[in-house]
Chains A and B, each alone.
Chain A
């Protein structure tokens, strides 16, 4: 009866409902974003309690950063990310394949799903504190190794580059493989079961099924996982920060980009920190561009389907 009126008021409600997002986005994201970019062109820091600046310096902050070891910290970030990501995706794939395999019939799937997701629920900094204690020179890991006679002297994990990076990677792996497993399980569950049945009837082995059916069909989700993890990895901060007491030691080989940002903020150096943020913004932008391209390639069909659904 009142169909026409209702459709008009629906549109209004639509705008009202999305307004809070835009208002909060503008206040809490847009303004700080613009401010960060503006600050990056100024000399603006605290010397003791005295505020120096803001003085316009143009691109000087950018040049100073580019001249320092920025690429080194990018490399550190990348190495620690890849060391954690490779085992993460491999283990997640294997687990997801097992859990979704009808023939294996693993008991207590729900229980394992919860257990592997648990590390993600702990606050990263608390988790880092825990690992710092576990792997410290007098910590339980070393006590066990020494008492079991595996090593004669405690291993000084945090004094070697590989040790520290490996622990950071291990933690990132532990925190995220559960999440990835659950995502991949959802993807595998979305595959039409008749494909597997048909393959089984034709005498397909487990590994053939995994490589020829499962893997190609969950490719979009895999690439999505990789990109989100890459962007998350770019922002790696709390784990190495707590683990190395903010030093990124040894020899700044575990210093990530955000840790560098944080160390500039110690002297409230808004100029440098702003410039570094803009660099990060550009890097993330480039990564996002690749995601977009990938999504467009993979998703050309779904997009058309969506259009169809709307009409």
Chain B
């Protein structure tokens, strides 16, 4: 008898464990909303996919639709994953780190399930970077809703920098995304080191010393004599050279390596061998971050707009506050940028239209963002007027008006050479040649490794050639 009971219990337990695996669909609490006026046919939940907290922070602080308490703080859930709008709609944030392609993997999965997901689980809005924007704005794939379908016209966006629209325009001329920022790059340097080595920290004088790569080399050698490093990681100059290419990465099935990138390789090898850089591997690592702190021996970093007010300021800490300045550097370049894209299948088209217009096209909001966060926003007029304002200055940069430098550089940004393969090519190229810089492999092996990696990453290129520049 006893045995029978035990066996029955065991069988039950086993059956239960099987059933338990099958169920478990999680449904977010949709009944929390109190109902408002705007959300009639609209869904109650807006799902936003993003890779860091940058946009989330801006949204919570500056989007007018967010419900706020008396102090103006946004009403959010405790873990910040939900922001409540005043009309009762909830904004759900799904944040996946960019590293190793995780963000895109999760996003692709979610987009593939868009057809079968419940309305409130569908992706409504997602963010992309320039490196892979083309993957999502492709007209054939059609995961991005053209702005015209949302009711946003070209007039609404007329003040934006042209290139920010070019990047997300598909083959048929439809704009499928919009950005709140333009991202020209500058060279950010430590004032204290500049004074020690060059006797001045004046941005114009320093710019004069760094205005082309030959001068930059001389300056780097002077820095070395005093025990400093001109640069931190080889990856720091990649964007500067990589943006000045003469053709896109891929032509048909062939991968074209530009001469500008080979110049990068040559310079990095020299800097690494001669001890002109700090030999830090990669970017956004602990070592790289701490090299931007007050005790570091590294002179400067190539950074674009968001890098200065968001990353560098954070890494510099209190001690480094006010010890930084920016200048144009040897070559114009841009880096990064984030675009908002409405996902096909969204049930919140009205909200998305409002979010996009407020966050990327409202001159007042954009001006406020620039004044308060020092980010460089996507409105040419507003930026030019701040640039011309003699009273505007950044305390972090010890009173410099960096917006003036950005405003000068932004109109000349040319993104016509971006391709859907940029992210993979950029990663594979840097990884393959890092071994060469570190003396682990010779030049030809590094080239062969790049060819191998790129064909592994993009099977569609496996039958093509990798074309290296002559010489």
Residues of A within 8 A of B (CB): 13, 16-17, 20, 24, 43, 45-50, 52, 64, 68-69, 133, 136-138, 156, 158-161, 245-247, 249-252, 260, 263-264, 266-267, 269, 272
Q: Compute how far the CA of A263 lies from the CA of B460 in the bound complex, rounded to whole angstroms.
A: 15
Q: Are B449 and A252 touching (Cβ within 8 A)?
A: yes
Q: Compute how far the CA of A16 lies from the CA of B11 in the bound complex, rounded to whole angstroms.
A: 9
Instruction: Kindly state whether residue B417 has any CB partner on chain A within 8 Å.
Output: no
Q: Compute how far the CA of A126 lies from the CA of B433 in the bound complex, rounded to whole angstroms.
A: 28
Q: Compute how far the CA of A64 lies from the CA of B455 in the bound complex, rounded to whole angstroms.
A: 11
Contact partner of A249 among B136, B420, B431, CB < 8 A? Answer: B431
Q: Are A48 and B141 touching (Cβ within 8 A)?
A: yes
Q: Which residues of B contact A160 (CB under 8 A)?
A: 440
Q: Are A263 and B438 touching (Cβ within 8 A)?
A: no
Q: Which residues of B contact A46 (CB under 8 A)?
A: 108
Some 28 contacts from A to B, beta carbons below 8 A apart, are A13-B7, A17-B10, A43-B459, A45-B459, A47-B458, A49-B108, A49-B111, A49-B136, A49-B138, A50-B138, A50-B141, A52-B459, A52-B460, A64-B462, A133-B286, A137-B287, A138-B286, A159-B440, A160-B440, A245-B100, A249-B434, A250-B434, A250-B438, A251-B449, A263-B456, A266-B457, A269-B459, A272-B459
Q: Are A266 and B18 touching (Cβ within 8 A)?
A: no
Q: Compute how far the CA of A137 lies from the CA of B280 in the bound complex, rounded to whole angstroms.
A: 8
B253-290: CB near A (< 8 Å → 1, else 0) gives 00000000000000000000000000111100111001
Instruction: Kindly state whether residue B106 has any CB partner on chain A within 8 Å.
Output: no
Q: Compute how far the CA of A247 lies from the CA of B435 in the bound complex, rounded to whole angstroms.
A: 11
Instruction: Kindly state whether residue B101 has any CB partner on chain A within 8 Å.
Output: yes
Instruction: Kindly state whether residue B452 has any CB partner on chain A within 8 Å.
Output: yes
Instruction: Kindly state whether residue B388 has any CB partner on chain A within 8 Å.
Output: no
Question: Which single residue of chain A is at the shortest CB-CB distance from B7?
Answer: A13
Residues of B within 8 A of A (CB): 7, 10-11, 14-15, 18, 99-101, 108, 111, 134-136, 138, 140-141, 143, 279-282, 285-287, 290, 420, 431, 434-435, 438, 440-441, 445, 449, 452, 456-460, 462
Q: Are B11 and A17 touching (Cβ within 8 A)?
A: yes
Q: Are B100 and A138 touching (Cβ within 8 A)?
A: no
Smallest beta-carbon distance A126→chain B, Å = 16
Question: Which single residue of chain B is at the shortest CB-CB distance from A272?
Answer: B459
Q: Are B138 and A158 touching (Cβ within 8 A)?
A: no
Q: Are A20 and B18 touching (Cβ within 8 A)?
A: yes
Q: Are B14 and A20 touching (Cβ within 8 A)?
A: yes
A47-B458, A48-B141, A69-B452 are known; give 19 further A-B pairs, CB within 8 A. A13-B7, A24-B18, A46-B108, A47-B459, A47-B460, A49-B136, A50-B138, A50-B141, A137-B281, A158-B281, A160-B440, A245-B100, A245-B282, A250-B440, A251-B435, A251-B445, A260-B456, A267-B457, A267-B459
Q: Are B458 and A50 touching (Cβ within 8 A)?
A: no
Smallest beta-carbon distance A3→chain B, Å = 14
Q: Are B440 and A138 touching (Cβ within 8 A)?
A: no
Smallest beta-carbon distance A62→chain B, Å = 14
Q: Are B456 and A264 touching (Cβ within 8 A)?
A: yes
Q: Compute how far the CA of A252 lies from the CA of B431 in the bound complex, rounded to whole angstroms.
A: 10
Question: Which single residue of chain B is at the shortest CB-CB distance from A28?
Answer: B21
Q: Are A138 and B135 touching (Cβ within 8 A)?
A: no
Q: Are B438 and A156 touching (Cβ within 8 A)?
A: yes
Q: Are B100 and A246 touching (Cβ within 8 A)?
A: yes
Q: Are B136 and A138 touching (Cβ within 8 A)?
A: no
Q: Are B100 and A161 touching (Cβ within 8 A)?
A: no
Contact partner of A136 among B287, B420, B431, CB < 8 A? Answer: B287
Q: Compute how far the CA of A161 lies from the CA of B286 in the bound complex, rounded to whole angstroms.
A: 22
Q: Which residues of B contact A69 (CB under 8 A)?
A: 452
Smallest beta-carbon distance B74→chain A, Å = 33
Q: Which residues of A contact B462 (CB under 8 A)?
A: 64
Question: Which single residue of chain B is at the shortest CB-CB distance from A47?
Answer: B460
Q: Are A161 and B440 touching (Cβ within 8 A)?
A: yes
Smallest beta-carbon distance A146→chain B, Å = 14
Q: Are B101 and A49 touching (Cβ within 8 A)?
A: no
Q: Are A263 and B11 touching (Cβ within 8 A)?
A: no
Using A138-B287, A247-B431, A269-B459 as known contacts, say yes or no to A48 and B11 having CB atoms under 8 A apart. Answer: no
Contact partner of A49 among B7, B135, B281, CB < 8 A? Answer: B135
Question: Which single residue of chain B is at the shortest CB-CB distance from A158?
Answer: B281
Question: Which single residue of chain A is at the shortest CB-CB distance from B420?
Answer: A48
